[in-house]
Amino acid sequence: MPVYATWDDHEIVNNWEGDSVDETLFANAQQSMFEVLALEEDKNRRLWRRYRWGKTVEFFILDCRTERVPSKGHYISQEQMDWLLNGLADSPRPFKVIAHSVPITNMPDIWDLSD
């Protein structure tokens, strides 16, 4: 069973954002992510990547934590957005799946199960 994973808000500290965490802590967490998931590292150590399953589906795994700056309304960098849009346009697969760890909309109160 394949596993495709990305950062969520508990891998380093709760509700962290890319620029709100100690650099050493971040580097150690990032190294652990690459080692535990056996991810191939690119020169920029990006976690966003894509996977193809035959001729049917392509998975786009986003990193919405490292580059996240909610105060500016940014959940991914322009570079990651361009990569995603180009990948979606260029993919010959009929099905595309985008996976991410940060909600992209405000859910209605009915979905708040914390009470």
Residue 76 has pLDDT above 70, yes or no: yes
Q: How far is CA 70 from CA 74, 79, 103, 104, in A?
A: 6, 17, 12, 11
In 23-92 the beta strands, taken as DSSP E runs, fall at 49-53, 57-61
Binned at pLDDT 50, 70 and 90, residue 29 comes out as confident
Length of the chain: 115
Could you give the CA distance from residue 24 to residue 22 in angstroms, rounded to a whole number?
6
Binned at pLDDT 50, 70 and 90, residue 114 comes out as low
How much is the pLDDT for 112? 64
How much is the pLDDT for 69? 76
Tokens found for residue 69: 């700056």
